């Protein structure tokens, strides 16, 4: 009977130690999942902010292109007036057309610069959204890992605990890849 009590005591201590390790693993993975959720939300907000900035830059570029086109229309109208007007009036219309032509050049440069800026912002937004998705996958894997590790405590199934640990490792890898791809 003494041997049976001793074995029961060893088994009980092993189960308690196992439960402690399961609790430590589950809580560590839960903290990592919380960090993943925080990173994911941050990336999402940052991506949407940059996306809004890109849309605004595209609109500003479109406005500048429209202004440039209006200037070009004026150039052609004044050139037509110059071609059909006599003497001094023709010279005056030619002078106005030249001024419009000169003032249109910087407007076109501004439009092109805004267009390029919008394209850069669009690419940055897409990169951040991809990062957000990768971090989201990592966070999901960590959350599944928590479930597997927790179930392993209920059924004393070490396979589930080790599966949860392996899944957590993959989840952490996704978090790191997602974090680095968005920087």
The pLDDT of residue 152: 86
Alpha helices (H) in 85-157, listed in sequence order:
87-155
**Could you tell me the pTM of the whole model?**
0.72
Mean pLDDT of the chain: 88
The pLDDT of residue 17: 52
Q: Which has more pLDDT, 57 or 156? A: 57
pLDDT interval class at 155 (50, 70, 90): confident
Q: Which of 71, 36, 69, 5 is nearest to 145 (CA)?
A: 36
| 17-21, 76-80, 99-103, 151-155: the lowest-pLDDT one | 17-21
The pLDDT of residue 183: 76
What count of Cα atoms within 13 Å lies in the side-chain half-sphere of residue 3?
0
pLDDT tens-place string over residues 80-139: 999 998 889 999 999 999 999 999 999 999 999 999 999 999 999 999 999 999 999 999
The Cα 15–Cα 18 span in angstroms is: 5
pLDDT interval class at 18 (50, 70, 90): low
The Cα 76–Cα 6 span in angstroms is: 103
Domain limits of the chain? 2-181
pLDDT interval class at 38 (50, 70, 90): very high
- Select from 1.10.287, 2.60.120, 1.20.120, 2.30.30 the CATH code of 2-181: 1.10.287
3-state DSSP: the chain helix, strand, coil percent, rounded to 5? Answer: 95, 0, 5
Average pLDDT rounded to a whole number, residues 142-161? 87
| 81-85, 142-146, 153-157: the lowest-pLDDT one | 153-157
């Amino acid at each position: 009977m003494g041997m049976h009590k001793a074995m029961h005591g060893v088994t009980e201590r092993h189960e308690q130690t196992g439960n402690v390790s399961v609790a430590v693993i589950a809580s560590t993975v839960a903290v990592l999942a919380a960090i993943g959720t925080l990173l994911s939300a941050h990336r999402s907000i940052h991506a949407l902010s940059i996306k809004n900035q890109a849309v605004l830059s595209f609109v500003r570029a479109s406005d500048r292109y429209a202004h440039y086109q209006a200037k070009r229309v004026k150039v052609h109208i004044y050139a037509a007036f110059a071609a059909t007007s006599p003497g001094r009036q023709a010279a005056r219309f030619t002078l106005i057309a030249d001024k419009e032509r000169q003032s249109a050049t910087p407007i076109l440069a501004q439009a092109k610069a805004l267009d390029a800026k919008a394209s850069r912002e669009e690419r940055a937004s897409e990169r951040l959204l991809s990062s957000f998705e990768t971090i989201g996958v990592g966070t999901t894997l960590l959350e599944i890992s928590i479930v597997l590790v927790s179930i392993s405590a209920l059924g004393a199934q070490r396979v589930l605990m080790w599966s949860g640990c392996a899944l957590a490792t993959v989840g952490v890898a996704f978090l790191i890849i997602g974090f680095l791809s968005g920087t």
